[in-house]
Amino acid sequence: MRVSIERTLFQAADQMRGAMDVGEFKHVALAMLFLRYVSAVFELQRQKLEAEEFADPEDPEGYRAENVLWVPEPARWSHLAAIAKSPEIGVEIDNAMRAIETANPSLKDALPTVSGRESLDRGIVSGLIDLFTNMPIEGKRGLGPRGRSHCCPFPRPLRQRQPPGWVNALVPS
């Protein structure tokens, strides 16, 4: 059963309640939401390229031409979901973020690498992967205004500063 983004984020918050500071939640949960989203958009573009006669789905330029981030194999959601129960899943998520930064120079030093910390329970990380795997992300701009409200839940005047650039990548301008 597919669930809404709102319900998924509330379930994620419930899973993490008591296990970490509320301020840390956004870094862990939104980092995984980012990976889920860029992987979904990447896969949609990959399907389009596979359907074209002369396109190469392994050429990053076919993605960049459509303003889609190139997502290396180890950073793709399908790979991360397959290894979600691994004791090293947090490190793998951090490595996925680094791989996306390397493949997309505009994101250099912009993505969080917080999931591999020793203090972060691996059960929480794998549970979040399970939750986000069932979350619907459809279309190139799948999160839309609802995603925006959860990425930046406070009205602009209440924010102390702009959210990190990787959060803005989730929401179309």
Q: What is the pLDDT along the chain (173 residues), one digit of tens a residue?
A: 445 666 766 676 676 666 666 667 778 888 888 999 999 999 999 999 999 999 999 999 999 999 999 999 999 999 999 999 999 999 999 999 999 999 999 999 999 888 888 777 788 888 889 888 887 776 554 444 344 433 433 333 333 344 455 555 554 44
Q: Residue 19: its pLDDT value, please? A: 61
Q: Residue 28: its pLDDT value, please? A: 81
What pTM was estimated for this model as a whole?
0.73
Find the helix packing angle between 89-103 and 122-133, rounded to 10°. Answer: 60
d(CA 103, CA 6): 30
- Three-class DSSP category at 45: helix
Q: How many CB atoms lie within 10 A of CB 168?
A: 15
Q: Residue 8: its pLDDT value, please? A: 67
Find the helix packing angle between 22-51 and 5-16, rounded to 10°. Answer: 140
Domains, the chain, ordered by start: 5-168 (1.20.1260.30)
Task: Pick the closest to residue 110 from 71, 152, 167, 165 (CA basis).
Answer: 165
Do residues 163 and 25 lie in contact, with contact meaning Cβ atoms separated by under 8 Å? Answer: no
Extract the tokens encoding 43: 């896969």
Do residues 32 and 132 lie in contact, with contact meaning Cβ atoms separated by under 8 Å? Answer: yes
d(CA 124, CA 116): 12
